[in-house]
Amino acid sequence: MLPTREQLVVVHCDLVEFSRLTSQNEDATFYALKQGFEQAALLVSDHDGALVNTAGDSLLAVFPTAQAAAQAALGLQQYFALTNRHLPENEQLRARIGIHQGAVVVQGDQAFGNDVNIAARLQEIAPPGGICLSESVRHLIGDFNELQFESIGVQTLRHISQPVSAFLLLTGHEVSHPDSKAPPEVQPRVLVLPFSAPKNDSDLGELGEALSVNLISALSRFRELFVFAPHTVLSLPAQSHDQRRGDDQLKARFLIEASLKRHLEALRLTINLVEMPHGHYLWSERYDVTAYDLAVTQDEITDHIVTTLVGNIEHSAGTTHISHTLSLDYDENIRARRLVYRMQSAEDLDQAKTLFRNLGNRHPGFASAHSGLALSHLAEFLMGWASHPLETLNKAAHAAQLALELDPSDSGAHAAFGVTQIWQRDHDRAMTYLDRAVELNPNDTDVIAARALGLIFRGRPIAAFTALESALDANPFAPAWYFWALAISSYNSGQYRNAVETLLRIASPNRFHRRLLAASYAQLGETDKATSERDQVMIEVPSYTVEDTRNSQPYEHSADVDSFVEGLLKAGFPSHLQSHF
C-alpha cells in the first residue's frame, strides 16, 4: 500500500554557524538551542502547524496554509531577534528558514518527498535571520498581513534537478552574506558616560548627569554616529561607569568620559574621548568654566568630538546653540531634560514640567523650554501616569506647536506633536511630523520609537517591530513604553507569544500592559494566566469595559483593533458597562 501524500506547506529551519557556537561554549549553546526549539514548537502550534522533528540544529514542520507557515517563520525570526538583544555578537543564535509547498508524506517524526528537499535547499540560500520561499508559496500568501517580499530570481538548488524561482520574505532581521560585495556600513558606536563628580557633592553629580544627556542630544543629530540614548546611560549602575562596561555589554567603540570638580569660583571639567577595546585616548581637554559660559563650552566640546570621530562635518545643524541671554538658565534646562529622560516616576515629570514652565515664563521665546514641556506631558501620557490622559495629550500638542513656531528644527517637538496627532486620528499629519523628526535627529531613540507608534496605528506592525528593535539597540535600558509598543506590534502581527515575552520584561507593569498581556494569554489559550492579569486590571479600574479600549485605540482602520478586542473578550473582560476610560 502506497503511503498517503498530503498537500502541505513545509518549513525547514536551520541554525547558522552552530558548530562554531558549540565549540566556543558547548553548554551555553545547548541551552540556547533547547530554549529556542521549545519556543519554536510553541510557535508552530500557535499557527496551526505540526512539528515533524528536530535533528541537531535543524527543525522541520508542516502547515495547512502558506499564510500560517509564513506567520510561524516570521514569529521565529522575531523571537531570535528578541533573545539576541541580551547576547554578545559572537553568541547570538540566527536561523535560516526555507518554505515550499507540495505533496508530502508524513510518518511519525519523518517527512518525505522532493518538496521537503526543496524547502531544505531554499533554507540554505536564505541569509542569516532571513526566510526564503518558492514562487508557488509566494503566490499562495498573496497580500497578507503587511508581509513584504523580494524576488531573487531563478535559483539552482543543490541536488534539485529543476531550478526554482525564489523570493525572500523580508523580516528586517536579515544579516548580509559574508561574501557580499557591498562594503559594510561603518557607524561608530559612541557611549557618553555620566560626568563623574565627588561623591559628597550631589548637586554637581546631578549636573554631571544632565550635561551628559545634553551632549548625547547634540551628538545624536549626526547620521555618521551611533549614539546610545540617555535612558541607557542613566540606567547604568554607578559602579559600572567604566570602560569595560561600555566595551563588553554595549559594544561601544568610543567612550566619552568626563569629571566635574569645583575649582575656586568656577567648575573644572575634564573630558576624554577613548577608543576601545584598548583604551587609547584620542582627545583630552580641561576647561575651567562658570555657569554663565557652560553652554558655549559644551558646544565647543561637541564640535571637538564630532570632528575627531567623523572628520569634516557641517556643524550648522549639529550642535544646540543657546543664546547668550539664556546662558544663565542652561543649568535649569538640562536638569529638567535629565528628569524627563530618567523617566523613573511621575514625580520626576512633575518636577521637570515645573522647571520648563518657569524657564518658559522667564524666556517666552526659548523653544527648548516649550519642547521640553511637550515631551514631559507626552512621557506622562505614554507611561500611563496621566490622571486625565486626553487633557495631558492636548497640553503636549499645544507646547509642541509653540516650540515649532519658535524653532522649526526641533526634532523632539516634531515627534511630540506627531504622537498627539495619532490620538487625534490625523494619521497623515502624524507621519509627516514623525518622519521629519527622524530626518532631523536620526539617532534619537525616542523619536524612532515615536515614529514606530505611528506605524502601529497605521496598520504596519511588522515595520514598527523592526523600527523599535533599532531603537532598543541604541537604548538597551529603554522606558516601559518602548516594550509596550513592541508588544503591540507583535500582537497585531499575530505573534501573541512574542508579545508575552516582551511584556514580561517590563519591571512594573501597569493596567495597559496587563490588558495586552491578558489578551495575549487568552489568544494562546492560557486561560488561568489571562484571568490573573484580567483580575488585577479590574481591581485597579473596576468600571473598565472592552468598549473603552475599542473607542480609545487610535487606529486608522477600525478593523485593526478587532483582534485586540477579541483577546480581551476571551480573557473575560466585561464587554459593556458605563464607560469611564
State mean pLDDT over 148-154. Answer: 94
Are 40 and 159 members of one domain?
Answer: yes
Q: Provide the pLDDT for residue 324.
A: 40
Residue type, 292: Y
pLDDT digits (tens, 9 = 90+) for 452-470: 999 999 999 999 999 999 8
Instruction: Work out the pLDDT band at 287, boundaries 50, 70, 90.
Output: confident
Return the higher-pLDDT residue of 413 and 259: 413
Distance CA 229, CA 448 (A): 11
Q: Give the pLDDT confidence score for residue 274 in this predicted structure.
A: 82
Kindly report which listed range (29-38, 42-51, 543-552) carries the lowest average pLDDT score.
29-38
Q: Tell me the average pLDDT across 79-86.
A: 85
Q: What is the arithmetic mean of pLDDT over 286-314?
A: 61
Whether 577 maps to a domain, the answer reads no
Residue 74 has pLDDT above 80, yes or no: yes
Q: Which residue range forms the structural domain that includes residue 390? A: 343-441
The pLDDT value given to residue 53: 92
Which whole number is the average pLDDT over 485-514? 94
Within a domain: 177: no
Last residue of a domain, one of 383, 410, 441: 441
Contact 535, 572 (CB under 8 A): no
Spatial neighbors of 372 by CB under 8 A, at least 6 apart, are: 333, 336, 337, 340, 352, 356, 359, 412
Task: Answer yes or no: do 425 and 302 share one domain.
Answer: no
Q: What is the DSSP string of 66-122?
A: HHHHHHHHHHHHHHHHHHHTTS-GGG---EEEEEEEEEEEEETTEEESHHHHHHHHH
Q: pLDDT confidence of 73, banded at 50, 70, 90?
A: very high
CATH code of the domain covering residue 371: 1.25.40.10
Please tell me the distance from the alpha carbon of residue 9 to that of residue 68, in angstroms, as a whole number: 9
Strands 131-134 and 110-112: unpaired
Residue of 317 and 269 predicted with greater confidence: 269
- pLDDT for res 72: 95
> Of the candidates 380, 410, 441, which is a domain's last residue?
441
**Is 275 within a domain?**
yes
Q: How many CA atoms lie within 13 A of 171 on its CB side?
A: 30
Residues whose CB is less than 8 angstroms from the CB of residue 268 and which lie 6 or more positions away in sequence, other chains included? 260, 261, 262, 286, 287, 288
| 448 is a domain residue | no
Q: What confidence category does residue 49 fall into, taking pLDDT thresholds of 50, 70 and 90?
A: very high
Specify the higher pLDDT residue, 153 or 185: 153
pLDDT category at 28 given cuts 50, 70, 90 is confident
- In this structure, are residues 273 and 308 in contact, taking their beta carbons and an 8 Å threshold? yes
Residue 426's pLDDT is what? 96
Residue 419: CB atoms within 10 Å: 31
Instruction: Mark whether 12 and 150 lie in a shared domain.
Output: yes
Residue 567: the pLDDT is 97
Average pLDDT over residues 557-573: 95
Cell of 266: 568656577
Residues 325 and 360 in one domain: no
How much is the pLDDT for 328? 44
Decide: 475 and 486 in contact? Cβ < 8 Å: no
pLDDT mean over 300-321: 49
- Pair type for strands 189-192 and 226-227: parallel
Checking if the pLDDT of 178 tops 70, the result is: no
Pair (49, 92) in one structural domain: yes
- Do 360 and 300 lie in one domain? The reply is no
Q: Reduced to 3 states, what is the DSSP secondary structure of residue 38?
A: helix
Q: In this structure, is residue 256 part of a structural domain?
A: yes
* DSSP per-residue codes, 375-394: HHHHHHHHTT--SSHHHHHH
Q: What are the grid coordinates assigned to 209, written together?
A: 548627569
Please report the pLDDT score of residue 331 as a whole number. 64
Number of Cβ atoms within 10 Å of the Cβ of 363? 16
415 and 475 within one domain: no
> Is 264 a member of any domain?
yes
On whether residue 435 sits in a domain, the answer given is yes
Is a pLDDT exceeding 90 seen at residue 218? no
**4-18, 247-261, 539-553 — which is least confidently predicted?**
247-261
> For the chain, how many structural domains are there in total?
4
What confidence score (pLDDT) does residue 97 get?
A: 96
pLDDT greater than 50 at residue 12: yes
- Residue 277 confidence (pLDDT) above 80: no
The more confident residue out of 245 and 475 is: 475
Q: What is the pLDDT of residue 441?
A: 84
Per-residue pLDDT band at 141 (split at 50, 70, 90): very high
The last residue of one of the domains, among 441, 474, 506, is: 441
How far apart are alpha carbons 395 and 370 in whole angstroms?
11
- Looking at the predicted structure, is the pLDDT value of residue 526 above 70? yes
154 and 12 within one domain: yes
Q: Which residues pair with 153 in a beta bridge?
A: 166
Q: What is the dihedral of CA 458, 463, 469, 471, to 10 degrees?
A: -60
Is 196 found in the same domain as 272?
yes
| Residue 310 pLDDT greater than 90, yes or no | no
For the chain, percent of residues with pLDDT exceeding 70: 86
CB 366 within 8 A of CB 372: no
CATH code assigned at 494? 1.25.40
Instruction: Tell me the DSSP string of 467-504.
Output: HHHHHHHH-TT--HHHHHHHHHHHHHTT-HHHHHHHHT
Look at the block and give the residue holding cell 576624554.
Answer: 272
Question: C-alpha distances in angstroms, 559 versus 358, 498, 562, 575?
Answer: 44, 22, 5, 17
Interval 286-296 mean pLDDT: 69
Please name the residues in contact with 409: beta carbons below 8 A apart, sequence gap of 6 or more: 317, 440
106 and 27 within one domain: yes
* 19 plus 144 within the same structural domain: yes
**381-440: pLDDT as tens digits:** 888 889 899 999 999 999 999 999 999 988 889 999 999 999 999 999 999 999 999 998
Least confident of 25-34, 179-188, 301-310: 179-188
Mean pLDDT of 79-103: 86
Q: What is the pLDDT of residue 571?
A: 97
Residue 563 pLDDT > 80: yes
- The confidence score (pLDDT) of residue 291 equals 61
User: So what's the pLDDT on residue 187?
Assistant: 67
pTM of the model: 0.79
Say how many Å lie between the first and final Cα of the chain, rounded: 64
Interatomic CA distance for residues 286 and 281, integer angstroms:
14
Q: What is the pLDDT of residue 317?
A: 33
**Residue 180 belongs to a domain:** no
Query: Over 70: is that where the pLDDT of 579 sits?
Result: no
How does the average pLDDT of the chain come out, rounded?
Answer: 84
Q: What are phi and psi of 22, to 5 degrees?
A: -65, -45
User: What is the per-residue pLDDT for 520?
Assistant: 98
The arithmetic mean of pLDDT across residues 71-84, rounded, is 92
What CATH number does residue 16 fall under?
Answer: 3.30.70.1230
Sign of CA dihedral 565, 48, 517, 424: negative
Domain CATH code at residue 248: 3.40.50.10070
Residues 290 and 354 in one domain: no
Q: Quick one: pLDDT at residue 60?
A: 95
